[in-house]
Structure 1
Amino acid sequence: MKRRIAREKAVQILFQIDMAEVKMHDALHMVMEDSSDDNKYLMYLVEGTLEHLQQIDEEIKQYLRGWQLDRIANVDRAILRLAYFELMFEEVPDRVVVNEAIELAKLFSDDQSFRFVNGVLSQYLQTKQPTEE
């Protein structure tokens, strides 16, 4: 499974877990639909995001100018959580994470969400020390 597809499916799983309190295994089964694709990276993304969820949410809250985490669109919250996991705990280049998050917002959310997601991620990255990509 390509990383982009894994990210798309990870957002869908995180969304289901957040919205309907579905168990991770059940959400995975619904999203994969009997696919035989290798889902190691997908599981890594979902499990890592869930494992660090409290820390990720606390970090996101710092950059939600005028918003509360529980008031933003559920799909945007899932996209941000996944992106923050990759930014905080992965060696993925920052611009790749931001671009992927924007594309996920364009795919799954409304016409303005990609700007919101970009703004929240950009605010976070401005406070980080520059990293080599």
Structure 2
Amino acid sequence: MKRTEARQKALQALFQLDSTELTIEEAIGHVLEEEQKSNAFLEQLVRGTTENIEAIDAALEKNLEKWTINRLPKIERTILRLAVYELLYAEETPNKVIMNEAIELSKTFGDEKSSKFVNGVLSKFTEQ
């Protein structure tokens, strides 16, 4: 599984975890296709984002203008959490790659304004 696909699967798993009582393993299992195996990067993204959610949300709150984390549409909130996890905790991936992947996710799963919003919020993390 390529990293782009792992990010898509992680986004889908995190989206489920945001509104259900599923375990991390169940959420990952739901997004994998039949006989598809999880991989270490997918697991790292989902577990890392989930385990660091309070710090991620606090960092996001500081960079949201006129928004709170709970007012964000669920898909944008989930994309931002995933990207901020990578920006803060996964130093092996360049920031530009993380930003680009998050923008692509927002184009795929969000509406026409999602990518500009995600780009604007994440750019504040890379300027610091």
TM-score under structure 1 normalisation?
0.90
Give a deviation string over 1:93-128, Cα, whole Å, max 9, x none.
11000000000000111110010000000112212x
Shift of 1:38: 4.4
2:106 corresponds to which residue? Answer: 105
Matches within 5 A, 1:1-133: 1-91=1-91, 92-127=93-128
* Stretches of structure 2 lacking an aligned partner (at least 5 in a row): none
SS of the residue corresponding to residue 37 of structure 2 reads: coil
Conserved? CA contact 2:83–2:98, under 8 Å: yes
Moved over 4 A (4+): none
Conserved? CA contact 2:28–2:38, under 8 Å: no
Give a deviation string over 1:63-94, Cα, whole Å, max 9, x none.
11000100101111111111001100112111
Counting matched residue pairs gives 127
Q: Give aligned-pair identity as a percent.
A: 44
SS of the residue corresponding to residue 63 of structure 2 reads: coil
2: CA distance, partners of 1:54 / 1:125: 20
* Stretches of structure 1 lacking an aligned partner (at least 5 in a row): 128-133
Conserved? CA contact 1:4–1:100, under 8 Å: yes
SS of the residue corresponding to residue 14 of structure 1 reads: helix
Conserved? CA contact 2:32–2:38, under 8 Å: no
